[in-house]
Structure 1
C-alpha cells in the first residue's frame, strides 16, 4: 500500500485598486482608504484583533498600468 496523503489547497487573492493618472500618480488619501479597507478585511479573514499588529508582509503594493494594487492572499487546505 502506498504511504502518502493528498489535499486540496484553495487560494483567493483579494485586490483593492486605486486608479492613477500620469504624471501625478494616485492621491495619498485614496491609497490610505484602500490600505485601511484591505487591512480591515485581512484582519477579519485571519481573526486578528484591532490591538494586534499585522505582519509587515501581509499586504502587498503592486504597480498596475494605470492603478496601484493592494493585495493579500488567503489559503485554505482540505484533506482529500
Structure 2
C-alpha cells in the first residue's frame, strides 16, 4: 500500500502529485482482520492559503491483493 499527497490551487480542481509516495510496511501478501501497516516520511511541500490537499491511498502494482476495505489515519503538519 502507498500514500500520496496531491495539491490543487484554490480556484482549480486539477490536483498535482507532490513528493515521493510513502510505501507502507509491512507489504501484505494476504490480509487478516486487524492487520495494520505504517510509515513516515519527511516532505517539504509548499502550499498557499486556500490550496486544496488530497491524501490518496492505493495498492502498489506489485500487490497480490485486489482490494482492501478499512480506515486510514494521517497527520500533516503545515507550518
- Please give the range of the TM-score, normalised by the shorter of the 2 chains: under 0.3
Greater helix fraction, Structure 1 or Structure 2 = 1
Tell me the TM-score normalised to structure 2 length.
Answer: 0.26
Q: With CA pairs under 8 Å and 6+ residues apart, which has the higher RCO, 1 or 2? A: 1
Tell me the TM-score normalised to structure 1 length.
Answer: 0.26
